[in-house]
A and B are shown apart, each in its own frame.
Chain A
Amino acid sequence: MSSTIETLKEHTTGEYKYGFMTAVDEETTPPGLDEEVIRRISARKEEPEWLTEWRLSAYRRWLSMEEPDWQKVTYPPIDYQAISYFAAPRQKERPKSLDDIDPEIRRTYEKLGIPIREQEILAGVAVDYVFDSVSVATTFKNKLAELGIIFCSISEAVRDHPDLVRKYLGSVVPPGDNFFAALNSAVFSDGSFVYVPKGVRCPMELSTYFRINAAGTGQFERTLIIADEGSYVSYLEGCTAPMRDENQLHAAVVELIALDDAEIKYSTVQNWYPGDKEGKGGIYNFVTKRGICRGRRSKISWTQVETGSAITWKYPSCILQGEDSVGEFYSVALTNNFQQADTGTKMIHIGRRTRSRIVAKGIAAGRSDSTYRGLVRIMPGATGARNHTQCDSLLIGDRCGAHTVPYIEVKNRSAKVEHEATTSKISEDQLFYCRSRGFSEEDAVALVVNGFCREVMEELPMEFAVEARKLLGISLEGSVG
């Protein structure tokens, strides 16, 4: 029973408290995209030939693709030639030890509440720190290595574990999967790589903290997680960005692979800058996340708390290929002011007796718009497959919108698919009841909203749940009264 309300109060002065900018000397490629830029990114990262070619072929695919427009969000056309595709703090080499990290960058993460240290508060969490386009530090690497666990930046993985990367990169999200995945495949800069060997239970949470700092850049990170037979890993991802008037593009790709009896738990607390009260600025969060339960009895579980970004467009999905594999999606999407979110999941049932569970909670306040879009597809071979979907929307005020768009395709008659949906408004009665017991109006709203999301919040690892609860309260500021 942490004192949520208490902590919430402390934050009620700052609106977006991660909106500061760090003054570091950064190397940024000039805006624009062509084959030359891609070659330069690849060369800068000293990549092998195959990867350069892989990028170029993705780029060529991208040129022939159309930006999707079926999602229920609107934004002015993005000028892809106006974006800079690579930004990195200038440093001669990646620091050898945590002590060699640029003090400015170190201070940035301290301000964000996740100091680069292997002790105290983060003792149970290993962190990969991604600053704009590059990973600047990874903690607990050696300790993990003793168990055979690889946790490093994807750039290092390309260099040190090329076979694994080559085998799995693009195996779940092919470069031509969609417009933004193709763009990411062409220009991705950094991100995290995880490999957990057979039979190993990763003893700590692995985490990546993404920070966009440079102006006029996009962030295109790439994460690849492989859980070998009988292994288990819990991975967390957090993100913030400075406040700016212009929109910034974030187009990431995350791929998860679970082999026989393996389990991957992937949690996200997304808090990119959402733009100001008038809807100016903010991050366009166009992300492709997909996991494959390739092995029998494997399990992939996505949990997300989405409070940031001007626009969120993402559908963390599971391909349930192995027999008896399980996919889960737990989501809280909160929008306020002029934010737009079109998010949900896809559960593709291929193997027999595959099961999936979807719990999606959408909260809309201000003039924002929140859409749940989900696909449950039962393939002909998925005998005995089951899905249960629960979709709840909560509206705060009467200028916002919440929508539920479920797609269900069943090609095997033995399958059982259930869908439940509710929409409610935060009631005057609830607010008055809480206030008459001493809660301020804002605390009352945060309390009711946290209650509404509890099922999802309970899925988050402890350290994150506290943060996430605070975040919900902060994001709702000014939504009542």
Chain B
Amino acid sequence: MLRIEGLRVAVEGKRILDGVDLEIAAGETHAVMGPNGSGKSTLAHVLAGREGYEVEDGRITFMGEDLLAMEPEERAAAGLFLAMQYPVEIPGVSNMYFLRQAINAVRKARGEPEIAAGAFMKMLREKAKLVGVPEELLRRDLNTDFSGGEKKRNEILQLAMLEPRLAILDETDSGLDIDALKAVAGAVNGLRTPERAFLVITHYQRLLEYIVPDRVHVMVRGRIRRSGGRELALELEQRGYEQFAAEAA
């Protein structure tokens, strides 16, 4: 589904990603771990098509298409979703309205009809309950004055509503209390299907107890230094990233 080959990315002349290779197949869940500043969010942003990143080398194919040639909205329509580390506030635009317009934008790009008001509301109620987003939050302005945890839950609600092929979760667990963590993990697990893939960026192996990954990758200084199974996360928790720092130097 997703193939990244030799990806080199710079920001303002500074090399941040230094040769990333990663392949994710449909139905798989991959975790990326790594120290602060190692380039995890940069990778997520480049995948979603954010401006300001200079791709110096490498290739990304998504569902057989050249991802780097697509606009962010085209990537969304193709089924890519990024739950952001820092969701953005949009004052004056209600959460619910935004969601409906987003669904319709994506549907339109795919040549599908708009979602009917009734069907939308029904789906929204179900999913909101699943993720633990209260009705009141649906009517408020998008992310505006939401608590950190509320913002994260809301990202997962968007994920559940937009039903992407590949969902990237950038530190969705950071700042969540234990109940929220379980709710979010439960929602994500409910969305795992043979057609859908996940890329979960996290600092904590605890999340991976709930969302059990097929593969774990360790990113240090802009490169994936080691990949392994679920047990790699446990090892990291015990030994830290120091071992990789030497490798990277």
Contacts and interface: CB of A to CB of B under 8 A. Distances in A.
Interface string B37-61: 0000000000011111000000000
Contacts of A440: 71, 73, 105
A363 to B, nearest CB: 12
Nearest to B105: A438
Contacts of A450: 92-93
A150 to B, nearest CB: 39
A3 to B, nearest CB: 7
A441 B73 CA distance: 8
Contacts of A455: 92
A433 B90 contact: yes
A439 B92 contact: no
Contact of B93 (A429, A432, A435, A451): A451
A416 to B, nearest CB: 26
B76 A438 contact: yes
Nearest to A434: B90
Interface in A253-293: none
A432 B48 CA distance: 9
Nearest to A437: B102
A451 to B, nearest CB: 3
Given A5-B105, A439-B101, A433 B92 contact: no
Contacts of A166: none
B101 A433 contact: no
Nearest to A443: B105
Interface residues of A, number: 28
B106 interface: yes
B127 to A, nearest CB: 15
Interface in B80-99: 81-82, 84, 87-88, 90-93, 96-98
Interface string B115-126: 001000000000
A454 interface: yes
B217 interface: no
B199 to A, nearest CB: 14
B162 interface: yes
A238 to B, nearest CB: 24
A452 interface: yes
Interface in B134-171: 141, 158, 162
A429 to B, nearest CB: 5
B104 interface: yes
B248 interface: no
Interface string A196-225: 000000000000000000000000000000
A432 B97 contact: no
Contact of B162 (A434, A437, A443): A437
B222 interface: no
Interface string A420-439: 00000001111011111111
B72 A436 contact: yes
Given A3-B101, A436-B73, 11 more contacts: A5-B104, A6-B104, A432-B50, A436-B72, A438-B102, A438-B109, A440-B105, A441-B71, A447-B93, A447-B98, A447-B101
Q: Sorted from nearest, which 6 A-B pairs have the closest CB atoms?
A: A451-B92, A451-B93, A454-B92, A438-B105, A435-B72, A433-B88
Interface of B: 48-52, 71-73, 75-77, 81-82, 84, 87-88, 90-93, 96-98, 100-106, 108-109, 114, 117, 141, 158, 162
17 contacts: A4-B101, A428-B51, A432-B50, A432-B88, A433-B87, A435-B73, A436-B72, A436-B84, A437-B102, A437-B106, A440-B105, A441-B73, A447-B98, A450-B92, A450-B93, A452-B91, A452-B92
